[in-house]
Amino acid sequence: MEEILEILEKNSKYSEEEIAVMTGKTAQEVREAIRKYEKDNVIVGYTALINWDQTSKDSVIALIEVKVTPQRGEGFDKVAERIYRFPEVKSCYLMSGGFDLTVIVEGKTIKEVALFVSEKLATQEGVLSTATHFILKKYKDKGVIFEEKIRDDREAIFI
């Protein structure tokens, strides 16, 4: 049944009937599986992937590396929870390597994101340091290429 999840992850607009055809299951089996996944918190939401560069909306997205001191008995979870509760935070991940958390933040301007980092994020108890990287252009997100170049593979003929 994980096949249903893989299909929905690629395109959540498929109908239960379409998924049934793709998986060889009945629409009822697909419907029941999806309801169970939602109930068990396996499917936690449905979203659309938007190429905001093609709209008039002004926004800035930043990836922030955060080093933290884990709290006794709580590890990184308590610090992460305080951080991901901010509405500016779109994603928050525990990482391996040179820093502890990756925080994805969205704001209207670079200044707005910078103020969030300096006034709200860096001042959190347990946060040791931050490094902010602004996303300049998205080429691919969640498996989707944003601006696929149309290649002309025709052979040139010179007369």
Best CATH choice for the domain 52-136 from the list 3.30.70.1170, 3.30.70.920, 3.90.950.20, 3.40.190.150: 3.30.70.920
Q: Which residues pair with 132 in a beta bridge?
A: 64
One-letter amino acid at 126 equals G
**Could you tell me the pTM of the whole model?**
0.78
The angle formed by the CA atoms of residues 16, 17 and 22, to the nearest 5 degrees, is 95
pLDDT tens profile 25-52: 999 999 999 999 999 999 999 888 888 7
Q: Are 118 and 109 in contact (CB under 8 A)?
A: no
Nearest to 101 by CA among 52, 67, 75: 67
Nearest to 53 by CA among 132, 135, 133, 111: 135
154: its two tokens: 């025709």
pLDDT tens profile 141-150: 888 888 777 6
With bands split at pLDDT 50, 70 and 90, how would you rate the model's confidence at 65? very high
Residues 6+ apart with CB under 8 A from 104: 61, 62, 63, 64, 89, 90, 91, 92
